[in-house]
Amino acid sequence: MHKSETLGRIFVAISLVIFGIQHFLYGGFVAGLVPAFMPGHLFWAYFVGVAFFAAAAGILYEKMARPAATMLGVMFFLFVVLLHIPRIVTHSRDGNEWTSGFVALAMCGGAWVLASASPLYEREIADPFLKFGRYIFAMAFVAFGIQHFFDPRLTIRVGPPWFPGQPIWTYPTGIFFVVAGSAIFLGKKARIAATLLGAATLLFFLLLHIPRITAQLHDPGPWTSGFEVLALCGEAWVLASTLPGENRE
């Protein structure tokens, strides 16, 4: 594996472990997010926590990486369909619901990127649908960028409190997400775009989310949003490692 791909997988695995721990620490809250038509809400909260632990282990173990990442993508796709789309329909004016939905969509695409980047073994077959991971991941970032222009609350989220001109940085960040996502989707300078996207999200994690986590250690919200960003960073770098260089594009 490339060093960037290895580091990306580690970032994703660490994030999944954090998500798994949260499902056990805050099982009651997570159970409340399970759709009403599904029985055994608390069971599903803990089941998904175990699935996150299993996926983290599988992604780091080369021979299990492909099936583990494939099923992780399927799980996030189900989150989008069963959890986020109904909430977006019900609360269509709530930007947080849209953001959460697109994060789950990006995680779905990123998981399938991980799966397609993993080697095939005798017992495995190539899954054509995994190729959609790149496009799903890219579209989610285009959506994030567009949100920076239509959700004014994002102006207070870009950059740490000490960073000058926070509202101003909202728009360059939005433009960057749209351009990077479009480049990845179209395959034009896609490797550079994915690499820069990973670097930018890592900076967000270090400069924005780590301070929030340390200031609110007992609040699960900053932990969740922070490690979602770290996972997306890892997935971007795995994607970059799978794309051809500019001389071959």
Q: Over the stretch 147-157, which tens digit does the pLDDT of each residue have?
A: 888 875 655 55
CB 139 within 8 A of CB 105: yes
What is the C-alpha to C-alpha distance for residues 198 and 240, in angstroms, rounded to an integer? 9
CB 32 within 8 A of CB 245: no
What is the C-alpha to C-alpha distance for residues 168 and 157, in angstroms, rounded to an integer? 11
In a domain, 247, yes or no: no
The 10s digit of each residue's pLDDT in 27-51 is 999 999 888 889 999 999 999 999 9
Output 188-196 pairs: Cβ under 8 A, ≥24 positions apart. 188/249, 189/246, 189/249, 190/243, 190/249, 191/240, 191/243, 191/244, 191/245, 191/246, 191/249, 192/246, 194/236, 194/237, 194/239, 194/240, 194/243, 195/4, 195/236, 195/237, 195/240
In a domain, 117, yes or no: yes
In a domain, 189, yes or no: yes
In a domain, 62, yes or no: yes
Q: How many domains does the chain have?
A: 1
The 10s digit of each residue's pLDDT in 223-247 is 999 999 999 999 999 999 888 765 4
**Domain span at 22:** 3-242
Global confidence as pTM: 0.89
In a domain, 249, yes or no: no
In a domain, 248, yes or no: no
What is the C-alpha to C-alpha distance for residues 192 and 148, in angstroms, rounded to an integer? 22
What is the C-alpha to C-alpha distance for residues 4 and 229, in angstroms, rounded to an integer? 16
Average pLDDT, the chain: 88
Residue 123: what residue type? R
CB 159 within 8 A of CB 106: no
In a domain, 66, yes or no: yes
The 10s digit of each residue's pLDDT in 86-113 is 999 998 888 889 999 999 999 999 999 9
Which residues does 64 contact at the CB level (< 8 Å), separation at least 6?
A: 57, 58
